[in-house]
């Protein structure tokens, strides 16, 4: 009888790598299918205080991937991309978009991601009338959120994605209600009149214009973009740094206060946290605001770690 528990332990131990390999394979299929599979569908997005429905079309013709997305309720936000590059944007969205791609193309790199996340198959499910496999994407530290991802068994397209806090609370839901995996017609991929054409970006080779850097970053996050922009509310210019670990991302905004007295602040909008911290610098106090889909404690630590200085922290 004493041997029995040993078998159970050994069996569990032996089956674990098999499950993990299975999950890795699903993730690799997901990474591939996103650039090779034509599909159209309707999905819903929900976070606290917001619920919206959207239509999406993706047409793949040889090497050319064309995507069109349209919000179906409320403002008709629309966007068309060809091979990842923005072609048109409806006026609702046009406000602050900077143009230009990120410096480091954030392609879906399963191998790199597995350093910061653990992938696990957790069962079968059914989404949008299709058979799906449910994966858990678990963070390996407390500086990022985990996901529950449901992939279509036939195509490995993501049918449902739940973002979960470290306490297992649901932060946002993305879920298809309908999915077709056939070819997509040209007319469906053609932008509507309301979608304003975006000029091809001319600033691909921009250099670091900001002299801010972070002393501390959660493992795996690296700088994807930095820029200096006019402040939305004053004559000051705001330094902007964007970071990503491949799945999660956050932005840091730094604005000089010029002697103004402003309190720290924080706010949580579903998955997105915003933490503002006052930092003392040589040229006077600045307000550092971290915005992103990361836990509040991590955002606060990043905000407090910002330093003025030329050397960029490379992690």
Partner 1 sequence: MSREALHESLSAVMDNEADELEIRRVLAASGEDEMRSTWSRYQVARAALHKELIDPRLDIAAAVSAAIADEAAPVVKAQRSPWRSMGRLAVAASVTVAVLAGVRLYNQNDLSGQQLAQQAPAPVISVPQASQAQGPAVLAGYSEGQSEAGDAQAAPAEGWHEQRLPSFVRQHAQQAAFSGGSDSALPFARAASMEER
Shorter beta-carbon distance to partner 1: residue 117 or 250: 250
SS (H, E, C) the chain: CCHHHHHHHHHHHHHHHHHHHHHHHHHHHHHHHCCCCCEEEEEEEEECCEEEEEEEEEEEECCEEEEEEEECCCCCCEEEEECCEEEEEEHHHHCCCCCCCCCCCCCCCHHHHCCCEEEEEEEEEEECCEEEEEEEEEECCCCCCEEEEEEECCCCCEEEEEEECCCCCEEEEEEEEEEECCCCCHHHHCCCCCEEECCCCCCCCCCCCCCEEECCCCCCCEEEEEEEEECCCCCCEEEEEEEECCCCEEEEEEEECCCCCCCCEEEEECCEEEEEEEEEECCEEEEEEEEECCCHHHHHHHHHCEEECCCCCCC
Site of tokens 């999905």: 43
Compute how many residues bind partner 1; rule: CB under 8 A: 80
By the rule CB under 8 A, 152 interacts with partner 1: no
Q: Which 62-91 residues touch partner 1, going by CB under 8 A?
A: 67, 69, 71, 73-75, 77, 79, 81, 84, 86, 89
Q: Is 148 in the site for partner 1 (CB under 8 A)?
A: no
Residues 185-244 that bind partner 1 (CB under 8 A): 224-225, 229, 231-233, 240, 242, 244
Nearer to partner 1, 69 or 313 (CB): 69
- Cβ proximity to partner 1, 29 vs 101, nearer residue: 101
- CA-based torsion, 34, 182, 135, 272: positive or negative: positive
Considering only residues 10-49, where is the footprint of partner 1 by CB under 8 A?
31, 34-35, 43, 45, 47, 49
Among 263, 282, 311, 314, binds partner 1 (CB under 8 A): 263
Exactly one of 40, 110, 239, 249 binds partner 1 (CB under 8 A); that residue is 249
Q: Is residue 284 at the binding interface for partner 1, with CB under 8 A as the rule?
A: no
Neighbour count for residue 124 (Cβ, 10 Å): 11
Choose which of 258, 265, 284, 315 interacts with partner 1 (CB under 8 A). 265
**Closer to partner 1 by Cβ: residue 15 or 142:** 142
Which range binds partner 1 by CB under 8 A, 104-112, 178-186, 205-213, 215-223? 104-112
Binding piece for partner 1, criterion CB under 8 A, among 6-14, 16-24, 180-188, 247-255: 247-255
Single residue of 108, 114, 208, 222 touching partner 1 by CB under 8 A: 108
Residue choice 197, 268, 309, 315 for contact with partner 1 (CB under 8 A) = 268
Interface region with partner 1, contact rule CB under 8 A, candidates 4-12, 94-102, 124-132, 184-192? 94-102
To partner 1, the closest distance from the beta carbon of 236 in angstroms equals 10
Among 22, 28, 29, 56, the residue binding partner 1 under the rule CB under 8 A is 56
**Of 16-24, 181-189, 208-216, 262-270, which segment contacts partner 1 by CB under 8 A?**
262-270
Could you give the C-alpha distances from 202 to 33, 103, 230, 241, in angstroms and in order? 30, 13, 19, 19
Distance of CA 64 to the CA centre of its chain: 23
| Residue 264 near partner 1 by CB under 8 A | yes
């Amino acid at each position: 009888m004493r041997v029995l528990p040993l078998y159970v332990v050994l069996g569990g131990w032996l089956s674990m790598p098999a499950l993990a390999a299975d999950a890795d394979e699903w993730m690799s299929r997901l990474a591939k299918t996103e650039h090779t599979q034509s599909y159209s569908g309707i999905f819903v997005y929900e976070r606290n205080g917001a619920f919206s429905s959207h239509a999406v079309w993706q047409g793949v013709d040889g090497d050319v991937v064309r995507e069109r997305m349209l919000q179906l309720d409320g403002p008709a936000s629309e966007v068309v991309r060809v091979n990842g590059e923005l072609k048109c944007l409806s006026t609702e969205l046009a406000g602050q978009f900077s143009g230009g791609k990120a410096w480091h193309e954030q392609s879906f790199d399963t191998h790199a991601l597995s350093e910061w996340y653990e992938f696990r198959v957790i069962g079968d499910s059914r989404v949008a009338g299709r058979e799906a496999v449910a994966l858990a994407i678990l963070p390996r530290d407390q500086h990022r959120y985990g996901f529950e991802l449901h992939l279509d068994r036939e195509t490995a397209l993501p049918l449902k994605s739940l973002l979960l806090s470290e306490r297992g609370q649901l932060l946002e839901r993305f879920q298809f209600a309908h999915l077709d995996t056939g070819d997509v017609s040209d007319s469906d991929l053609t932008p509507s009149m309301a979608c304003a054409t975006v000029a091809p970006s001319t600033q691909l080779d921009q250099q670091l214009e900001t002299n801010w850097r972070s002393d501390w970053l959660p493992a795996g996050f690296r700088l994807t973009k930095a820029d200096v922009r006019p402040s939305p509310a004053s004559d000051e210019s705001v330094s902007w740094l964007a970071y990503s670990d491949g799945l999660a991302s956050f932005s840091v905004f730094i604005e000089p206060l010029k002697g103004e007295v402003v309190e720290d602040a924080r706010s949580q909008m579903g998955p997105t946290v915003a933490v503002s911290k006052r930092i003392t610098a040589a040229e006077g106090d600045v307000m550092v605001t971290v915005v992103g889909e990361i836990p509040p404690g991590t955002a606060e630590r990043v905000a407090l770690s910002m330093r003025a200085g030329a050397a960029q922290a490379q992690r």
